[in-house]
Amino acid sequence: GPILVPILGDQLTRDLASLRGRAKDDTVILMMEVWDEATYVKHHKQKIVLIFSAMRHFAAELRQAGWTVDYVQLTDPDNAGSFTGEVARAIERHNPRAVHIVEAGEWRVQQSIEEWPDKFDCNVEILPDDRFVSSIAEFREWAEDRDSLRMEFFYREMRRKTGLLMDGDKPAGGEWNYDSENRKPPKEGLAAPQRPLFEPDAITQECIDLVEEKFADHFGSLDSFRWPVTRDQAEKAADAFFAERLECFGPYQDAMVHGQDDLFHSMLSTSINLGLLDPLELCQRAEQAYKDGKAPLNSVEGFIRQIIGWREYVRGFYWLQMPHLRRANALNAQRGLPEFFWTGETDMRCLADCIRSTRDNAHAHHIQRLMVLGNFCLIAGISPREVQDWYLVVYADAYEWVELPNVAAMVLYADGGELASKPYAASGNYINKMSNYCSDCAYSVSKKTGEGACPFNALYWHFMDRHRDTLEANHRIGRIYSNWDRMGEEKQAAYLETAEAFLEALEAANKGWARKP
């Protein structure tokens, strides 16, 4: 028989390791829409539409290019509901001499793939996913040599390895990292050019109808589904980013403006993670823009760092830390996720705007995920498992390998500081500085305690106070406690009481409400 090549939903790459060099007449490609994957968490409706539509478009492209594709739809009457079940059925249909599959992005899926050699009668070959700059083995080797893992040092290795923004063995411009130039607050009226929007075609419309029927109770709106679902569309999105937004990407990377959901971000994560765009190629295009004088170094370096730095780093970290990362809870946070994370109904204007964007677009940009939504969960002490599930559900670009390190380690400090050197806790002051949220908020950001005070202010000190034992020894934090001690007992008590009152109200509002997904 032929070689059977299963391609998973986030492996939509023409040059995938399992296809490279294969003869078309000796290969059957298998693609599977399965119930298990669609429901292991109750994904945002747009996320399911995106993945199914991109899979269907990819299958059509492969067929056009002369490949044989066996495509199993979710509603096929015999659908077994799982990858393993569907591969078993495909083996019966095609009687292959071997199965070739690229390793899965997620631990959960990889576990089941690793059982295939014992389960199936034919040879099973599991190939490394080489769509990353660093292999999992390479990251492990890098990590083994040091006591503390820091993204910055890994990133420098990746710069050397790829040669991106290098002048010989020196970083272009003399510095490795230009983050200090990338913290501009939004000026009045800051607005970015509209990114290209892709109206649903017939295939996407079928997926929308399917999701409205089968996943009606999942979170999110489908009205504004405009994601790229093909490589062509993803490239148009990338072209527009490089032409119109890369220049300002750096300076406004951390800025937030009410109602402006994209600003100067690339909005390319969904396409990169699906495999429609090659991350290294994007970095090379950014570097070219710098060489051509079309974008400043701080913007280009910032963009490249997000991809060959953070994206690669969290993936290596994930495989190093699984499976225990999913259960990590170093700060012992136990509170339930507030219901307003699903409804958006809160008077905190920053949170309401980020949740609205999340519901409408299955997207929020980085600083919203980190410093508004994430920061709130951190300082309010929300249980990591609940926060992790929320992030995995709501973002169209969310796969556990990239979501979990960001949420558990970067945001919640649940790993006890393996990834981040300190918790990213902040008071309302930070949000006020970097956004225009506070001016029209029901709360007052300048009010520290009592009625009407911005909840972030009191929660921040409540967090610092309750974790003093753990955090004080950290030299990047220790200083903060001298400020706290200097405040005096009365002021401290006012902060703690304000925070307690807020947390009690939050828990009362959550009572009687069954957890959604």
Pick from 64, 55, 351: nearest CA to 207? 55
411 interface partner picked from ligand DLZ, ligand SF4, ligand FAD, none, CB below 5 to 8 A per type? ligand FAD
When asked if residue 350 is in the footprint of ligand SF4 (CB under 6 A), the reply is yes
The Cα–Cα gap between 429 and 371 comes to 11
Q: Is 391 in the site for ligand FAD (CB under 6 A)?
A: yes
Residue 420 Cβ vs ligand FAD, minimum distance, rounded to whole Å: 11
Q: Among 464, 476, 249, which residue's Cα sits nearest to residue 367?
A: 249
Which CB atom, from 28 or from 379, has the smaller least distance to ligand SF4? 379
Query: Among ligand DLZ, ligand SF4, ligand FAD, none, what does residue 406 contact (CB within 5–8 Å per kind)?
Result: ligand FAD
Residue 47 or 448 with smaller CB distance to ligand FAD: 47
* Size of interface with ligand FAD, in residues (CB under 6 A): 28
Cβ neighbors of 211 (< 8 A, separation 6 or more) are 45, 48, 49, 52, 218, 222
Report the alpha-carbon distance of residue 232 to residue 228 in Å, rounded: 8
CB of 438 within 8 A of CB of 432? yes
Q: Which does 134 bind (CB under 5 to 8 A by kind): ligand SF4, ligand DLZ, ligand FAD, none?
A: none
For residue 235, the 8-state DSSP code is H
Q: Does 227 bind ligand FAD (CB under 6 A)?
A: no
* Residue 441 contact among ligand DLZ, ligand SF4, ligand FAD, none, beta carbon within 5 to 8 Å by kind: ligand SF4
Q: Which does residue 43 bind out of ligand DLZ, ligand FAD, ligand SF4, none, counting CB within 5 to 8 angstroms by kind? A: ligand DLZ
Comparison of 136 and 487: residue with beta carbon closer to ligand DLZ: 136
**Cis amide leading into 6 (omega within 30):** no
Least Å from the CB of residue 264 to ligand FAD = 8
In the list ligand DLZ, ligand FAD, ligand SF4, none, the entry touching 306 (Cβ below 5 to 8 angstroms by class) is: ligand FAD
Residue 77 gets which letter from DSSP?
T
| Closest alpha carbon to 342 in 221, 454, 435, 431 | 221
C-alpha separations of 168 from 224, 296, 301 in Å: 46, 20, 16
Interface residues for ligand SF4 in 450-479 (CB under 6 A)? 454-456
Give me the 331-370 binding string for ligand FAD, x by CB under 6 A, dash otherwise.
----------------------------------xx--xx
Q: Report, in Å, the least distance between residue 445 CB and ligand FAD.
A: 22
CB nearer to ligand DLZ: pick between 106 and 254: 106
Residue with Cβ nearer ligand DLZ (9 or 384)? 9
- Check binding of 407 to ligand FAD (CB under 6 A): yes
| Per-residue contact string for residues 301-330; x = within reach of ligand FAD by CB under 6 A | --x--xx--xx--x----------------
The amino acid at residue 373 is L
**Quick one: which H or E segment has residue 14?**
none
Asked if residue 441 binds ligand SF4 (CB under 6 A), the reply is yes
Among residues 398, 425, 453, 477, the one that binds ligand FAD under rule CB under 6 A: 398
Residue 438 within binding range of ligand SF4, rule CB under 6 A: yes
- 431 belongs to the binding site for ligand SF4 (CB under 6 A): yes
Length of the chain as a residue count:
517
Question: How many beta carbons lie within 10 A of that of residue 145, not counting itself?
Answer: 6
Q: Where does residue 150 fall: left (phi above 0), alpha (psi -120 to 50 degrees), or beta otherwise?
A: beta
- Return the amino acid letter for 500: E
Among 11, 230, 346, 406, binds ligand FAD (CB under 6 A): 406
453 HSE (CA, 13 A, CB side): 21
List own/partner pairs for 69-75 with CB under 8 A and 24 or more apart.
69/28, 69/29, 69/30, 69/31, 70/28, 70/29, 70/30, 70/31, 70/94, 71/31, 72/30, 72/31, 72/32, 72/33, 72/34, 73/33, 74/33, 74/34, 74/35, 74/38, 74/210, 74/214, 75/210, 75/214
Contacts to ligand DLZ by CB under 6 A: 8-10, 32-34, 37-38, 43, 48, 51, 104-106, 109, 399
Does the footprint of ligand SF4 cover residue 258 (CB under 6 A)?
no
Rounded distance between C-alpha atoms, residue 2 and residue 289, angstroms: 45
Q: How many helices (H) and strands (E) does the chain have?
A: 25, 7
Q: Is there a contact between 476 and 420 (Cβ–Cβ < 8 Å)?
A: no
Q: What residues from 159 to 218 belong to the interface with ligand SF4 (CB under 6 A)?
A: none
Using CB under 6 A as the criterion, which residues of the chain lie in contact with ligand FAD when the complex forms? 265-269, 272-273, 303, 306-307, 310-311, 314, 365-366, 369-370, 374, 391, 395, 397-398, 402-403, 406-407, 410-411
Using CB under 6 A as the criterion, which residues of the chain lie in contact with ligand SF4 when the complex forms? 348-350, 428, 431-432, 437-438, 441, 443, 445, 454-456
